[in-house]
Structure 1
Amino acid sequence: MFYTPSLRSLAGIALTLIANASFANTTDSQTPLVQSKEFRYEEPYQAAVQNSGNSDQTDIAARQSTSVLQGLSVEQKQEHREAKYNGTSKQLASTSLVTTSDFWIYDSWLSLDLDLDYDGYFSKFTLEFDADTIYADAPVYAVIYLGTNEQYESIHVTSEFYIYGEDGSDSFVIESELIRGFPPRDYDVLIELYDAYSEELVAVADYYADADLSYVSLESENYESVYEETVVIVEEHGGSTAWYSLIALLGIVALKRFGKSA
């Protein structure tokens, strides 16, 4: 016997197609993308150009003589560092390469800022850390990583900035927004601090040293699924107008689904 589906059955198919079209937008076929902003002293940060003038001049000359990027502008240095570290991955064990005690990360703080779908995973967070040194002042920069199972991927290379001895007010703040490439997980954060003169890794902060950097519930924006309920009201009767209307609805759903995947 030939079966003719009812209007109610076809309406259910239409709703399923709409749901599938929305879910297709969460697929992760592109490389990770993160947008970050930097702040210091509660103001947007601009890269340091010169030191504060507090250091002993002999000490400055000795340290500057070891500068790997001597003669380059602030912008050129930043380009070099981003080219070197952006998109890199590493094992946590490699951070044991720190051989100096002249620098350290005193403390770090992390706050979760935006969870569009209220599933407990955030697409925007703020990281603040306070780095100290034995010197009166010293130029440094940091590389920020996210990872799981002690495998980390870099998400941001900071601008060069100065730290001042053990000053507790010179912390550096980074607001990061995960655009794509990060499925819902509990991530660990890794902070690497580099001497801007020698380009050497001089300090590390990780979840072993600071619990604030462990089990951070994050996901990128393309996983922030904000569902919009679509209600279809179907009145069953024998007229052909209802069939034509439902066929038109299915056509709209098909255009919506395949148009977004094009």
Structure 2
Amino acid sequence: MTLKKTSRYLSEATAELSPIVSTSLQLSLMLTLMLMTLPSFAEQVDDINVSETKTAMQSYSLGQSANVTNKASTEKMMQAIKQRILLNDSDQAQNKALASTRNEVINQKKQQDRKQSSASLFKNMAKIKNVNTTGRSFSDGSFVIYEGYSQLIEDFDADGYYQTFSVTFDADLITYNPYDEAVVYAELYLSENGGPWQHYYTTDSFVIYGESSDDTFEVYSTLAQGFTPNHYDVLIDLYEVGYPNIVASYSSDDSNSLYALPLESSDYDVEYIEYYEETHIYGGSAGVVSLLVLLTLMLRRLLGKFNRNFGINMANSQNN
């Protein structure tokens, strides 16, 4: 008789235990799915952030000729760039940086020249006899960039990748007259890890004097957004103002100082990015811990209820 009652009570206990096991399995399954989903979700968020960053490049640059009497020091150039950053006055906003490859820039200049030539053809035909031939163009291959080099300036997180750098080059005009001069400007490009040349700055026009070494030009740049930590090559295309053809080029093929510069934009070069990632990870861990605590409390409550009911049933069986 006692064995039958005990068997019946065990059956009842098992029936009460089934919801506990079912609930535990459900919670365990939810916890497992969450742990599997969190990493993939974080990767998706990172991929979205990287994609948005690549499509929204920002940089801040300033150039100056070395022969000006009021040539600014590196510190003053950096202060001026930081002021522009505060004002959000980027190279892109000034149309100094084009979201274009080198080939696209070259083709655009040629198309613009053809349009301008066609529009001014008939207007200038009546004035051909009065043209001043002394102001001729030197766009016949008599230009050369004698030297070019870079300097790495700012790396805040000390990871070896710099957000601020400078490029300096010396363009010369080679003619029989050492007093000849020309007005030129330069287009600067970056190539990430051997990829296509991407335009990052157009200089203002400046004057070069024959083969003088006193007319070097320097450009300071801070990469603010959209440049992943990597190695970048530099290319300089020189143009004579008013003419669409490249008159001289200088790149990483000509100088190791322009080859594989370790660069990154400032959105990769500040500590708060790492703090954000840590906060994200710990936030996920805190959620997991909370679920474990909740699961433990529920199990303790259900087991406590089971133990009380089982004890009461056993006591009743003994009394009977």
TM over 0.5: yes
**Which structure has the greater CA radius of gyration?**
2
* 1:208 lines up with 2:231 in the alignment: no
Distance 1:116 1:223, change over 3 A: same
Q: 2:48, 2:164 → 1: CA distance?
A: 19
Q: Give the match for residue 130 of structure 1.
A: 170
Q: Is the 8 A contact 1:33 1:179 kept in 2?
A: yes
Stretches of structure 1 that go unaligned for 5 or more consecutive residues are 6-15, 46-80, 237-262
Shift of 1:119: 1.5
Separation of aligned partners in 2, 1:129 and 1:86? 21
Q: Counterparts of 1:8-19 in structure 2 under 5 Å?
A: none
Match of 1:177 among 222, 233, 236: 222
Name the residue aligned to 1:76: none
Equivalences for residues 191-206 of structure 1 within 5 A: 191-206=236-251
Q: Which residue of 2 aligns with 1:114?
A: 154
Check 1:24–1:101 CA distance in 2 against 1; reply closer, same or farther (3 A cut).
closer
Match of 2:145 among 74, 83, 105: 105
1:120/1:26 CA distance change after superposition, 3 Å? farther
* Structure-to-structure mapping, 1:1-262, within 5 angstroms: 1=21, 2=24, 27-29=50-52, 30-41=55-66, 42-43=71-72, 82=95, 86-90=98-102, 100-134=140-174, 136=179, 137-148=181-192, 149=194, 151-225=196-270, 226-228=273-275
Residues 1:28 and 1:114: Cα distance change in structure 2 (over 3 Å): farther
CA distance in 2, matches of 1:187, 1:104: 23
Gaps of 5+ in 2: 1-20, 29-38, 78-93, 107-138, 294-320
Greater relative contact order, per chain length (Cα 8 Å cut-off, separation 6+): 1
Structure 1 length-normalised TM: 0.59
Query: What letter corresponds to residue 181 of structure 1 in structure 2?
Result: G
For residues 24-48 of structure 1, give each alpha carbon's deviation from its aligned partner in whole angstroms, at most 9, with x where no partner exists: 8963413222111112333389xxx
Q: Could you tell me how far apart the structure 2 residues matched to 1:203 and 1:100 are?
A: 10
* Structure with the larger strand share: 1
Q: CA RMSD in A?
A: 4.0
Deviation at 1:23, TM superposition (A): 6.4
CA distance in 2, matches of 1:26, 1:186: 21
Residue 186 of structure 1 deviates from its aligned partner by: 0.7
Query: Which of the pair is proportionally richer in helix?
Result: 2
Question: What letter matches 1:203 in structure 2?
Answer: A
Go from structure 1 to structure 2 and tell me whether the alpha carbon gap of 1:114 and 1:125 turns closer, same or farther (over 3 Å shift): same
In structure 2, do the counterparts of structure 1 residues 168 and 119 end up closer, same or farther at CA, with 3 Å as the change threshold? same
Identity of aligned residues (%): 30
Q: Secondary structure at the match of 1:222?
A: helix
